[in-house]
Structure 1
Amino acid sequence: MEKWSHEIGQKVFRFVKKVKQESVYCYSGYIGNSTYQVSARGDEQFVVDINDKTCGCSKWQLIGIPCVHGMAALLSTNHNPMDFIHLRYKKESFLRAYTPVIYGINEPKIWTK
């Protein structure tokens, strides 16, 4: 984890990069407050709320990473998408989870009763 070149893991970083590339095919229109109407390929339209980190397609809520529609809204407002990725994917969370040492125990035969 010390080798991470970003604040998120490499697989997640590649996924975010792919979503960014796909988001250029979406049009984001401001509705109000933090809400956007995003038109995707074809006639698909989704409501995105960047403050709540939600999208009508539900992918953002499910995986904790902005979906294509959410990414389009974020990029149209010059937000940094990394700020909208769930904490569970960030380096600090991995370090907190894997830093404590788990000590081994002797086999049950030699346990005191």
Structure 2
Amino acid sequence: MDMMVRQSNRRVACERWKDLVGPRIKKIIDKIGQRATEYRAHRAGEFIFQITGCGEHGSKHAVDLGLHTCTCKRWQLSGIPCVHAVCALRFKKQEVALYCHDYLMPSTYMEAYNPIIYPIAGQEDWEPVDYPIAPPLFKQQPGRPKMKRVKEPGERNQTTAPPAPKEGKLPKTGIKMSCRVCGQQGHNKLGCPITKAAKAAATVSP
């Protein structure tokens, strides 16, 4: 809706323009015209002028009104006659706005905002549609397929889970073993000192 209103307001504003260009460009031209009195125009041809600044060390620029060019390059870059071009146009008593680029003219402005964005009805006025929405078609991506899923950010910092038990047996991860002979922790029956002593004694005896 904002774009629709914006387009309409721009068309209405353009119809109220009284000058050959928009009001913003008109202010720029008037500001440049105030500085044009600091230069002097010297005719070299019907459309070619040399513009010299006032003073002993004044700048010199060549202006071609036919090609819309100036050696300072400001006219070519902005599309608005520079101060040197304005000085030459005043010498020829020409309207400065006529030498602006075409994209600054009201006709071009209206072409840009002429398309109408039509309003749309509210959701309560929409016509019901009775057909299922199918999922997008599957497309096989190039390369080797991934075998593991992409983990969430919170899962990446977690430690790996213990392996799954085999045939119903629980894993012994984190469990301290206890000896059946002496009852102490840290070893089993095979590593018990009592069992080792008994085996050693049986080996030594005849």
The structure with the largest alpha-carbon Rg is: 2
Q: Which residue of 2 aligns with 1:28?
A: 41
Q: Provide the residue aligned with 2:115 in structure 1.
A: 100
For 1:16, which of 29, 41, 44 is the aligned residue? 29
Greater relative contact order, per chain length (Cα 8 Å cut-off, separation 6+): 1
The equivalent residue for 1:68 is: 83
Unaligned runs of 5+ in 1: none
SS at 1:48 equivalent: strand
Contact 2:20–2:98 (Cα < 8 Å) also in 1: no
- Return the match for 1:5 from 7, 13, 18: 18
1:37 correspondence with 2:44: no
Amino acid at match of 1:24: T
Q: Secondary structure at the match of 1:100?
A: coil
CA distance in 1, matches of 2:64, 2:98: 14
In structure 2, stretches of 5+ residues that fail to align are 1-13, 121-128, 135-206
Q: CA deviation at 1:104?
A: 7.2
- Counting aligned pairs with the same residue, the percent is 28
TM-score, normalisation: structure 2: 0.49
Give the ranges of 4+ consecutive aligned residues of structure 1 lying more than 4 Å apart after TM superposition: none
Structure 1 residue 57 displacement after superposition: 0.2
Q: Which structure has more strand as a fraction of its residues?
A: 1
Q: Is the 8 A contact 2:49 2:63 kept in 1?
A: yes
Distance 2:53 2:84 in 1: 7
Q: Give secondary structure in 1 for the equivalent of 2:44.
A: strand
What TM-score, normalized to structure 1? 0.86
Q: Which amino acid aligns with 1:100?
A: P
Output the amino acid matched with 2:85: G
How far apart, in 1, do the equivalents of 2:16 and 2:46 lie? 39
Helix, strand or coil at the partner of 1:27:
strand
Which has more helix, going by share of residues? Answer: 1
Partners of 1:12 and 1:18 lie apart in 2 by 10
1:87 shift after superposition = 1.1
